[in-house]
Chain A
Amino acid sequence: MTEKNLVTAIRDALHDEMAADDRVVLLGEDVGNRGGVFRVSVGWMEEFGEERVIDTPLAESGIVGVAIGMALHGLLPVAEIQFADFIFPAFDQIVSEAARLRYRTNGDQGCPLVIRAPCGGGIHGALYHSQSIEAFFAHVPGLKVVMPSTPADAAGLLRAAIADPDPVLFLEHKKAYRAISGEVPDEPYLVPIGTADVKRAGTDLTCVSYGYALHTCLEAASRLEADEGVSVEVVDVRSLAPLDMGTILDSVRRTARAIVVYEDNRTYGAGAEIAATIAEQAMFDLDAPLVRIGGPDIPAMPFATPLEHFYMEPEPDQVYRRMHELATF
């Protein structure tokens, strides 16, 4: 085991995959000479060659479109969208092409493609370097969408994404990149896509979250236990599509109380799907109305520090307070 932060775990796992299999190629804006704006691929152009670490033209649809072609002809491309906010020119290639290739060919052609995209706010990124994009893509059958919140999950999920025969959108929360560290096994291992994970065991209520918000929840849960003796179980969704509702429902049925917390703006967000499924399948197991906390429904995260703080946490200690209310309902 080695202690490392999230972006280092991603870098190390991707490096191992590049070293182990020359079908794995990296392409995107600034991934070569610059080594990526988050420095994931520093020195790789020299180590693996320009053929495998490809500085592309500044054209997101082309990055994904070219990567789809590579995936259709024997390579395992890892395409990088520099910031998730810039992914929308590639929406058609991802949704109409990558996600539908297997279905539209009745299983004849597959697209083993990984698209990495740093997402999320709280880093002074403003409207166009802070967005949560998972809901747009988790809605699309044929596409897998994951967002690890810990370094160990990031490494295991990235390996699983590269090994997956279908397209995977791999979302990396930028605030977690360096703020979140943890133990990572030194040996290669997979975290299966489509599995949620109980990050903190508890008995009084279930908190379902993912990404950086999960750490806000874990922190609130710790304090609530220390302050009030409330035992919160925290479930990390990890994989938004496919969604592991089994693990979530199993926890909710044990605690009989559920709160869903996500950074993306609330309306039609991933939390809506999770909350709806809990309501649909566990209504009579609940002792209290379920709680859903999402970001404010404003077009995007503003830049000024007070405005950004308001987005990330509209009121002080909101998650702690709502957990406490739910526990004592």
Chain B
Amino acid sequence: MLTARLIDEAALRQNRQGRAPFVVPAEGHEACQVGTAWPMRPGRDVWLPYYRDLAIVLRAGMSPYEIFLGVFAKAADPSSGGRQMPSHWGYRALGIISGSSPIATQVPHAAGVAYAARYRGEDTVVGCWFGDGATSEGDWHEGLNFAGIHRLPVVFVCENNHYAISVPQSKQMAVENVADRAEGYGFPGVVVDGNDVLACYGAMKTAHERARSGEGPTLIEAKTYRFLGHTSDDDDKTYRPRDEVEEARHHDPVERFAAYLLETNVLDGAGAEALRIEIKDEVDAAIAAAWEAPDPLPESALRHVFAEGPDAP
């Protein structure tokens, strides 16, 4: 959680310093991301994150250095070689399916991957994450419907921060809980406190086991809050009252879990500080190394329209 937070803060600083044209803040979403990513098995399960899912892809196995190769759009960026905007992750070796910017397009992909995994007799669970706005899209409905019909091994996670950029949930849906919609697809919908990492872990653990045992999908709705703008180009002051944002910061999931670890003596003050310094050093080193990495060659823009070399037909 702290790694995600420190990367996020650092990436926004890189943007404000003019070194990264565009970044997508994830601050506030750390608990629902880390909690729902943790029961997933890196190397075996398949991940379909959306563009705010920094902590998800860290759990899947991406390093801070690889994250910053994307932030700086470098040739070695494993997601896209600098072709996509940052935060549009993909990484075949880690089982991260590439995502795009149109919303909810990954939801039917998740159902298809889960169908293929079961068809091939694999013990694979598919995780699919999205925001509250995504649940208005037709693809969201079509993906969940297909997954429900075939009882596929997939877990759908809605990180509900109550705004689709500027549009509040009340103008996005007439129901209070996204999770209520699961009933229409024939599988359980669960609401959890998205700022409580352990609650998110518990919900995902149950859903993951359900998927593995052949009982089918689960829709988890983790209610949370986005502390910053939608992206580095957004000004959330135009649509969110400041006192609402301030209030949300009192429920900061990173501070909350740190307090829990201190209270339960898992961590002490010195340990917490040492951890912060260790992670900060790693992030700083990642930024320095990624910044120095080579840019893509201009003419490489023409490559990979179709399969090349031995893969070509």
Contacts and interface: CB of A to CB of B under 8 A. Distances in A.
A272 interface: no
Interface string B103-130: 0010111111111110110000000000
A192 B303 CA distance: 21
A125 interface: no
Given A62-B142, A92-B102, A109 B303 contact: no
A42 interface: no
Contact of B313 (A71, A103, A142, A164): A164
Contact of A165 (B81, B105, B312): B312
A107 B116 contact: no
A165 B304 CA distance: 12
B116 A69 contact: yes
Contact of B108 (A74, A93, A160): A93
A326 B226 CA distance: 67
Interface residues of B, number: 46
B90 to A, nearest CB: 5
A102 interface: yes
A59 B79 CA distance: 30
A57 B146 contact: yes
A68 B46 CA distance: 14
A97 interface: yes
A65 B109 contact: yes
B310 to A, nearest CB: 10
Contacts of B169: none
A167 B233 CA distance: 34
Contact of B107 (A57, A65, A67, A74): A65
B232 interface: no
B139 A102 contact: no
Given A100-B100, A166-B307, A73 B108 contact: no
Contacts of B119: 25, 51, 75
A314 interface: no
A86 B107 CA distance: 21
A192 B313 CA distance: 8
Given A65-B112, A67-B112, A72-B112, A107 B146 contact: no
Nearest to A190: B313
B91 interface: yes
A61 B91 contact: no
B184 to A, nearest CB: 13
A66 B307 contact: no
B298 to A, nearest CB: 14
B88 to A, nearest CB: 7
A73 B112 contact: yes
A2 interface: no
Nearest to B89: A105
B14 interface: no
Interface of B: 46, 77-81, 83-84, 88, 90-92, 97-98, 100, 102, 105, 107-117, 119-120, 138-139, 142-143, 145-146, 149, 303-308, 311-313
19 contacts: A62-B108, A62-B139, A62-B143, A65-B107, A66-B109, A66-B143, A66-B146, A73-B120, A89-B138, A97-B105, A100-B100, A101-B98, A104-B83, A105-B90, A106-B80, A109-B92, A142-B305, A160-B313, A193-B313
